[in-house]
Amino acid sequence: TATTEIYTFPYTTLFRSQARPFGYHAFNSGFHALACILVYSLLVELGQGSLPAFLATLLFAVHPVQVASVTWIPGRNDTLLTCFALGACLTILRSGNGILPRIGHGLCFVAALLSKETAVCLPLIFLIVYGGVQGAGVLRGQRFMWVSWAVCLGLYFAVRATVISAPPGYVTDRLHAAVRHFPLL
């Protein structure tokens, strides 16, 4: 019968009558809505008008590329990364207003790193956004950004190395592969 049919997942066993995915989908949809609000806020902060920002946000909200991260339950890390990365972009643009936006930027960046590994590329994006808005010369005087990124990345890689242990010789194999494939870059 339907109540005795069992689905086995790696760490849990669910009976069909107990599987209620509504909460997971609501969580993903809520974070997608938050990401849409952050997209709108970022576009307005970058100097776009309200109407172009709204139209771009509407396109972001309903674009088919978003379907997997919103409807697929394990795709939540993409939505979380988007929210935290957009939050970090917004706080870095407002960082001249005091210490709270700087702390918020660091916290959002750490949360993005803990959401998905591809967040290690965010400092490059932050440089492009911040340098494009404020001017490239202003980047030299922003020690807090450089230090916070170095601290966040250092903590992330330390935690990652503690949690995920590499097999013996992994690091040297990766370095050798990087040197061997460097001409391809």
Identify residue 65 by its one-letter amino acid code: V
Q: How many angstroms separate the CA atoms of 45 and 88, rounded? A: 13
Q: What confidence score (pLDDT) does residue 147 get? A: 82
Beta strands 13-15 and 6-8 are antiparallel
Q: What confidence score (pLDDT) does residue 64 get? A: 81
Question: Is residue 50 within 8 Å of 44, Cβ to Cβ?
Answer: yes
Question: Is residue 136 within 8 Å of 128, Cβ to Cβ?
Answer: no
Q: What confidence score (pLDDT) does residue 128 get? A: 81
- pTM of full prediction above 0.95: no
CA angle, residues 179, 181, 185, in degrees to nearest 5:
110
Place of tokens 């959401």: 115
pLDDT tens, position by position, 17-35? 456 778 888 888 899 999 9
Which residues of the chain register pLDDT less than 50?
A: 1-2, 4, 11, 14-15, 17
Neighbours of 85 (CB within 10 A): 26
Q: How many angstroms separate the CA atoms of 104 and 45, rounded? A: 16
Identify residue 88 by its one-letter amino acid code: A
